[in-house]
Amino acid sequence: MEETIMKRIVFGLLLLCSASASADEVRVAVAANFAAPMQKIAADFEKDTGHQAVLSFGATGQFYAQIRNGAPFDVLLAADEETPMRLEKDGAAMAGSRFTYAIGKLVLWSPSPGLVDARGAVLEKAGFGHLAIANPRLAPYGAAAMETLTKMNLADKLQSKIVEGENIGQTFQFVATKNAALGFVALSQVTKDGKLESGSAWVVPGKLYTPIRQDAAILSRGRNNPAALALAKYLRGAKAGAIIRSYGYDL
């Protein structure tokens, strides 16, 4: 009896060691707008594959500079398509590894109910304090916000009211804490399963800004990392796709 129990214990330990040996870690640079869905995807990814995704969130432009300076990332999930393309041309990303994992949507949002109307007319009235946008030189959602204001002929009129966040995550915090009355943020930050979680919002029509195609790429450091390859495949799967859609992105 004791011998049988010992055999089972040894067998269990061998299975555990085998699983540990086959599991790898992948370091992922994630655009700030994709923080919430990626945290869920990473948890499912670990359960389903045994690999662990270590996530860092920030502005795509800053990630580009960090990666070019040798930052130890294996995969980049950018907020645009240009940055992964540039990294591929620079030799810092694997050729042919790029793919679009999500298409983002811009929204004008305020935590105050009734402040933002369904057509965005609040911008024309300008009866508010500050308007938050992400840094348009670093963050694609910030560039989309400025493009929207320009097409609405409001960029000059509202310039004195604009406050810039370092990335879309900080921009959201400016508005959520009411340091800015309203702001252009990612739809994924204020909705869940197609429903606005709080406040008031205007989903900006796609005709007002260039589509925000968010591309991923396996970086040179992740070329031989099984977890990096597995994550790229997982992001294109049905389970991750369902999570991405639930946060308001298109695929």
DSSP 80-135: SSHHHHHHHHHTSB-TT--EEEEEE-EEEEESSTTTS-TT-THHHH--SS-EEEE-
Fold (topology level) of 23-103+212-246: D-Maltodextrin-Binding Protein; domain 2 (3.40.190)
DSSP letter (8 states) at residue 220: G
Confidence band, pLDDT 50/70/90 cuts, at residue 193: confident
Question: What whole-number percentage of the chain has pLDDT above 70?
Answer: 91
Confidence class for position 172, pLDDT limits 50, 70, 90? very high
For the beta carbon of residue 99, count every other beta carbon within 10 angstroms.
14
Q: What is the Cα–Cα distance from 37 to 28, expressed in whole angstroms?
A: 14
- When pLDDT is cut at 50, 70 and 90, the band that residue 15 belongs to is very low
pLDDT tens-digit profile of 222-251? 999 999 999 999 999 999 999 999 999 999
Average pLDDT value for residue range 86-103: 97
DSSP structural state of residue 207: G
Beta strands in 167-211 (DSSP E): 182-186, 191-192, 195-196, 200-203
3-state secondary structure of 50: coil
For the structural domain made of 105-208, what CATH number should be given? 3.40.190.10
Strand partners, 26: 53
Q: Which of 143, 182, 189, 141 is nearest to 163 (CA)?
A: 182
Range in 9-13, 54-58, 98-102, 213-217 with the lowest mean pLDDT: 9-13
Q: Is the pLDDT of residue 19 over 70?
A: no
In angstroms, the CA 139 to CA 151 distance is 19
Nearest partner of 179 among 160, 164, 190, judged by Cα: 164
- Work out the average pLDDT over 21-37: 88
State how far the Cα of 184 lies from the Cα of 110, in Å rounded to an integer. Answer: 9
User: Does the pLDDT at position 111 exceed 80?
Assistant: yes
Nearest to 212 by CA among 240, 181, 238, 185: 185
pLDDT class for 22, splitting at 50, 70, 90?
Answer: low
How many C-beta atoms surround the C-beta of residue 187 within 10 A?
21
| Tens digits of residue pLDDT in 120-155 | 999 999 899 999 999 999 888 999 999 999 999 999
Query: Where exactly does CATH 3.40.190.10 map onto the chain?
Result: 23-103+212-246, 105-208
